[in-house]
Amino acid sequence: EETIKQLREENELSDQEYNMYFQSIHYIESTRDKIILSIPSRFIQSQLKQRYNAIIETRLFELSGIELTLDFEIENRKKDQEKTQSQETESPEIQEKAYEPHPQLREDYTFDNFVVGNNNSFAANASRAIAENPGSKYNPCLIYGGVGLGKTHLMQSIGNSIHKHKPDMKVVYIPAETFINDFIESINTKKQTHFKNKYRNADILLIDDIHDLQDKKGTQEELFHTFNALYDANKQMVFTCDRPPSELKNFADRLKNRFVRGLNVDLHPPNYETRYAILRKKLEDRNVAISEDILELISENINTNIRDLEAALTSIVAYAELVQKEITPEIAKQQLKQFFSSPIQTNITIDKIQKQVSEYFNVTLSDMKGKKRTKQITFPRQIAMFIIREITDYSTTEIGLEFGGRDHTTVMHSCQRIEDRIKTDSTIEPTVQELIRSIKET
Ligand code: ADP
Ligand code: MG
């Protein structure tokens, strides 16, 4: 013990380091070649081993002349807690309890990881307000919107935030489907009281995907009573749904009315800027270099939802990691083909539109696709791109390819040109409409 004390004094450790790693170490016993120390956590153990083991062992050797190794034992929790209580005032910083993640929530579904854009700012702000003051204002809250737009992420962010900052509150998160299964099982096993208590004792009840309760009369009934109990006790409830509640089928009206009683917020698909920002965010803690072009390419072409956006990114990242090669736009396009929205079944092809537009303007098809940049050619070319964008599902990347391998940004630019001109020149819109009509008719 004396050795350790000396060691502490002699070691050149800052106060902070000492407090953090050494203060809570206690001597347990020593054998001929070993010293056993008690330490508070595995975290401290790994820190000590990585940072100080070598120094300490050298010092011990210098002091004692014997080669001694260190061995650690982690204090058991109970003792630790007792100590925490009795030593509270002495050194609060080392006694902070290790954060225990919530068993039902994904740790990465946090507000910090949620990119706010104009498509979701209402929902995001409401969620933050709820996390700060659960039960008081927006109760219940219903978040609705299509698949992959961030409902679960937001809902779990509320849960994670409350779990972290208000650890005494009991947060219960459950997908509606699990709620249904639990309910049915509780009946079969005659454990209904247990089931009821589990949900009615919650301080925060988060039920994900309530559209799954459609057709489930019994569970709806049960949730109705749970709702009332929690509502009367001012407990916060949040629900998500993939459609506006008015579109729920086979759903008890009285329960539907309860859902919409508080705050209703909806999520929309993200715009280009938000998609780009989300991709950036998702790349933050991954150790791969994906160039701006590629991020733009993905953001431009994948506009369905964020789940698809992530899937595309994951596929590109995996490719980059496995092939260890820089991703060029060509490789990316090839890799992403499956993700780009496929044109709906239609007889309207890019080729058809190009032909009709060039006929109308009396330019050749090869000029239309070619490099010439005279006014007589560029205008029809822009009109063709604009129309393709208007009436088909081809992505700007695919369109670019059909115009002599032009870049998707060129296509975007061209469409923008026409849009601008429509605003200032009243003859253009009728021309476009006439062309569209004749393309659809033939
Ligand atoms: P939903 O529940 O609406 O189907 P999710 O919450 O599961 O959608 O979101 C799908 C994926 O997209 C998740 O991986 C989520 O982290 C991510 N995501 C959605 N919105 C955002 C956002 N605004 N910022 C960052 N990631 C998001
Ligand atoms: Mg979800």
2-27: per-residue pLDDT in tens? 656 666 666 655 555 555 566 666 66
Report the distance separating Cα 357 and Cα 38, nearest Å. Answer: 81
Question: According to the model, what pLDDT value does residue 392 have?
Answer: 86
- 189 in a labelled binding site: no
CA of 284 to the centre of ligand 2 (A): 23
Is the shortest distance between the CB of 114 and ligand 1 below 6 Å?
Answer: yes
CA of 156 to the centre of ligand 2 (A): 10
Residue closest by Cα to atom 20 of ligand 1? 150
Question: According to the model, what pLDDT value does residue 157 have?
Answer: 98
Residues 323-380 have pLDDT tens digits of 877 888 888 888 888 777 554 445 789 999 999 999 999 999 999 999 999 999 999 9
| DSSP-assigned beta bridge partners for residue 27 | 37
Question: According to the model, what pLDDT value does residue 226 have?
Answer: 96
Where are any strands of DSSP class E within 359-434? none
Q: What single-letter DSSP state applies at residue 249? A: S
What separation in angstroms does the CA of 15 have from each of 11, 23, 393? 11, 10, 64
Report the distance separating Cα 211 and Cα 232, nearest Å. Answer: 24
- 150 in a labelled binding site: yes
In the three-class reduction of DSSP (H, G, I as helix; E, B as strand; rest coil), residue 204 is classed as: strand
Give how far the C-alpha of residue 387 lies from the chain's centroid of Cα atoms, to the nearest Å: 35
Query: Looking at this protein, which amino acid is placed at residue 102?
Result: H
- List, as own/partner pairs, every contact residues 52-58 make where C-beta atoms lie below 8 angstroms and the sequence separation is at least 24, other chains included: 52/21, 55/11, 56/7, 56/11
Residue closest by Cα to atom 11 of ligand 1? 307
Question: According to the model, what pLDDT value does residue 79 have?
Answer: 39
Q: Which residues of the chain have pLDDT under 50?
A: 77-92, 343-345
pTM of the model: 0.62
| Residue 191 CB-half CA count within 13 A | 11
Query: Looking at this protein, which amino acid is placed at residue 436?
Result: I
Question: According to the model, what pLDDT value does residue 282 have?
Answer: 93
Q: What percent of the chain has pLDDT over 70?
A: 80
Closest CA to 160 of 110, 103, 100: 110
CA of 310 to the centre of ligand 1 (A): 9
The answer to whether the CB of 141 falls within 8 A of the CB of 126 is: yes
Residue with tokens 């790349």: 283
Where are any strands of DSSP class E within 62-189? 69-74, 141-144, 171-175
- 346 in a labelled binding site: no
